[in-house]
Every structure is written in structure tokens, then in C-alpha cells.
Amino acid sequence: MLDRHEGRWLIADHGSQVLAWEPLDGDRRQVLWYDSADPQELPGVIRGGVPICAPWFGHGPDDDQDPQHGLARLSAFDREVLLDGPRFLLVRHTVGPEELGAPFRLVHTVEMTGGSMTLNLEATCTDTVPRRFEAVWHSYFRVGDAARATVTGVEGAAWHNHATGDAGTLASDSLPISPDTDTVLQGSREALSVVDPAWGRRIDVDTQGCPTAVVWNPRMRSGTRTDLTGRSWRGFVCLETGTAKENALMLEPGQDTSLHMRVSVSTL
């Protein structure tokens, strides 16, 4: 575990998972939702922060892969600290096919500054035959009240809500976080935002190589999830970005691909 600024910047080697990033100027609230009270123990998954879902998302494009959301978030990555200063941190995590348990090499780079957090994921197919590949950052963004929050920048995206079965094309540029929100967006823009009126801020998510986005919150119209995320639904919005489902990639032997995400915060 890499800990800076008394836990305000926190990265786990398990899954190369960012657990905390807080700007050093302006809005000093945490940007990521993470609760260390999660009862799951390693080598299980860590709830919250920014898990990496790879080399598949969910149960894969054909819904036939286990465990859910891939092997990366269950894997121990090797860490290399490239730069470490009072207001700047650059870390590179690597996992090979043997440790991952799938024919891919993943290199995850995390850059934290006082004003932004940037993630870059490189994947290389190490197999002798083509392999399909998905990768999504399952980011849990902390908000003051998810019931009042929206995700913007979505107009024109094709959507499918897996909680309700509804689908279509978004005519509005704003998607509210209503009950039963589990919405996959394809063809989404490179610039998306979580708008949080309760705290008067906007979390901006700028991406490259990420045509897929997922907006999720565990609040349901009927019943209540009893796990940690279900009980904490009001405090976060998941805006997940990457390439998955219809945008799953077919990587040839030795071929690589790269995904990029930059997160920053501004005042409403």
C-alpha cells in the first residue's frame, strides 16, 4: 500500500487500485468513495476507489467469464515508484500473464498531483492466437447526495439500463441518478462529469480510448441491498469508463492497446 498526505492519496498494490485522491488546493473533500470497513479480506476484491475490471468486464462479452469483472482486481501487481514529491506522485504497476491468470500483460500508471489524477492502462496480448479484451475503470466518485447527482456529457450515446431492461439513445445531455441505475453507454463522449449539487462541485472525467461508460448506483426501487455499497448508496456515484461489451477489442498476438483517464474537480 502506498500512502501519501496522511491517507488522502492511497494506492493498493492489490489490483493496482487507487483508493483515495484528494486535491491539495480548493475543494479538500475526497474525490473517491472507499470504506476500509469493508469486511472482505484479500485476496478478494476491494470495494470502492478505482478497481480495474480486466481482461473482461462483468462476465465478458458473451456473459460466460468468471469471476465477475475479471482477474486484474484480484491480482498482486509489481510496483515501481517513478517520481515522488510533496505535490506529485507517479507510480507504475505491472502484472504478467502468469500472475494475472490470462494471456495479457497489464501496465497501470497512476499520476497524482495537487489538482488532478491521471490513470493510464496499457494491455498487451501475450497469446499465440487473437484474444478478446475488455477493460473498465470502475470508479466510485464520492458525492454529497447521489439522489441529487447527475452525469453530464451523455447526449447522443446509445444506452441500455441492465437493471430495468430499457434501452435507447439519450436525447438529453444529463443522466439523473435515479433508483435502478445500471446504465451502459456506448459511443459516449471523451469528456464526462459527475455533477454534485449537494457539495457544489463537479468531478470531470476526461478519457481517451474509452468508448464505453457505465453509470451505476445500488439504490433500488424495491428493497434495499444490505451490503456495504447498498447501505452507502447516497454517498457515491459510479461513473465507469473503458472499452467493453459492444466495444470489446480483439487483440492479435503481441498487439497492445491503451486507455487513458484524467480526473479533476471544479466548483459549480
* pLDDT score recorded for residue 38: 64
Nearest-CA neighbor of 134 among 180, 94, 102? 102
The confidence band for 42, taking pLDDT boundaries of 50, 70 and 90, is low
Q: Where are the domains of the chain?
A: 2-267
Say if residues 12 and 34 touch (Cβ distance below 8 Å). no
Q: What is the mean pLDDT of residues 254-266?
A: 97
The confidence band for 205, taking pLDDT boundaries of 50, 70 and 90, is very high
Nearest-CA neighbor of 74 among 104, 98, 48, 54? 54
Q: What is the C-alpha separation between 167 and 251, in angstroms, rounded? A: 29
Half-sphere exposure of 44 (CA within 13 A, CB side): 7
pTM of the model: 0.95
Residue 262: strand, helix, or coil: strand
* Residues 135-163: tens digit of each pLDDT: 999 999 999 999 999 999 999 999 999 99
Fold of 2-267: Beta-galactosidase; Chain A, domain 5 (2.70.98)
With a cut of 70, say whether residue 32 has pLDDT above it.
Answer: yes
Distances (CA, A) of 9 to 6, 29, 53, 116, 265: 8, 12, 21, 11, 15
With a cut of 70, say whether residue 200 has pLDDT above it.
Answer: yes
With a cut of 60, say whether residue 41 has pLDDT above it.
Answer: no
Residue 194: how many other CB atoms lie within 10 Å: 28
With a cut of 90, say whether residue 6 has pLDDT above it.
Answer: yes
* Residues 75-107: tens digit of each pLDDT: 999 999 999 999 999 999 999 999 999 999 999
* pLDDT score recorded for residue 188: 82
* pLDDT score recorded for residue 108: 98
The confidence band for 183, taking pLDDT boundaries of 50, 70 and 90, is very high
* pLDDT score recorded for residue 230: 79
Say if residues 73 and 17 touch (Cβ distance below 8 Å). yes
The confidence band for 19, taking pLDDT boundaries of 50, 70 and 90, is very high
